[in-house]
């Protein structure tokens, strides 16, 4: 742990951070997010001397995986993988931006959302979510990759990486399961948040989807997101860079 630094004039205090090193590589996160990782690991991590191997397989370990060493190794893997996915630069992290906690509360209370389709152990709101690195995230509650996720019913939040091809693939993936749910008469819902891209085919596909029940556009200056790198940046929230659409 490293103590918080005294703030300069007009600045907020820097958060206390945790620094973890392995084989000469170091990663950091705030104490708040370190505690969050520990709580997720205690809830979803391996028990009884097991460890999580590649692809989520459970393997026997010489020491109890729930101990400090098992948690710290697993947390280092999560932090290092996310740092690499973000480009290995402290100014990166835009592809991991998240909705505000208050928005998640509304989605849960009003629409019954119980899991996230695109999240990580560091930015998830709920304990169950799909993630880009399930081999290291599974011990922290990941359900696996969204592309391997096959829900039959329920309500889910989706705030995917703001990439045209990813959004197109996500829509096609969702439509397959919505069609199956319709055929069975099962209730299935996705709440999707992406930039407002009216000139892009991926945005129009969501707008014109036959399963689309509601559409809301938000002006850029009227809303924001949680920082993708909130686990080590000073500010947790930022104003959006663009108009957004909710489907």
pLDDT tens figures, 174-201: 999 999 999 999 999 999 999 999 999 9
- CB neighbour list of residue 187: distance below 8 Å, 6 or more residues apart: 153, 154, 155, 181
SS3 assignment, position 229? coil
| Whole-number Å distance between alpha carbons of 205 and 176 | 14
Nearest Cα neighbor of 133 from 239, 55, 211 is 55
Question: Residues 230, 122: contact at Cβ < 8 Å?
Answer: yes
**pLDDT above 70 coverage of the chain, percent:** 74
With a cut of 80, say whether residue 114 has pLDDT above it.
yes
| Whole-number Å distance between alpha carbons of 131 and 133 | 6
């Amino acid at each position: 742990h490293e103590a918080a630094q005294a703030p300069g004039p007009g600045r907020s205090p820097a958060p206390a951070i945790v620094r973890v090193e392995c084989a000469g590589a170091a990663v950091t996160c705030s104490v708040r997010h370190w505690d969050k990782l520990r709580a997720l690991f205690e809830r979803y991590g391996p028990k009884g001397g097991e460890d999580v191997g590649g692809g989520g397989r459970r393997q026997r370990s010489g020491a109890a995986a729930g101990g400090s060493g098992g948690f710290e190794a697993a947390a280092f893997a999560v932090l290092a993988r996310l740092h690499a996915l973000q480009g290995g630069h402290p100014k990166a992290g835009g592809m991991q931006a998240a909705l505000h906690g208050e928005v998640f509360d509304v989605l849960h209370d009003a629409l019954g959302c119980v899991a996230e389709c695109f999240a990580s152990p560091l930015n998830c709101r709920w304990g169950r979510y799909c993630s880009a690195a399930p081999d290291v995230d599974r011990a922290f509650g990941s359900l696996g990759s969204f592309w391997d996720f096959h829900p039959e019913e329920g309500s889910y939040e989706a705030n995917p990486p703001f990439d045209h091809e990813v959004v197109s693939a996500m829509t096609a993936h969702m439509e397959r399961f919505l069609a199956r749910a319709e055929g069975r008469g099962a209730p299935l819902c996705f709440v999707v948040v992406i930039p407002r891209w009216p000139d892009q085919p991926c945005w129009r596909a969501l707008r014109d989807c036959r399963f689309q029940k509601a559409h809301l556009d938000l002006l850029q200056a009227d809303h924001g997101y949680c920082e993708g790198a909130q686990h080590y940046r000073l500010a947790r929230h930022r104003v959006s860079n663009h108009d957004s659409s909710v489907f």
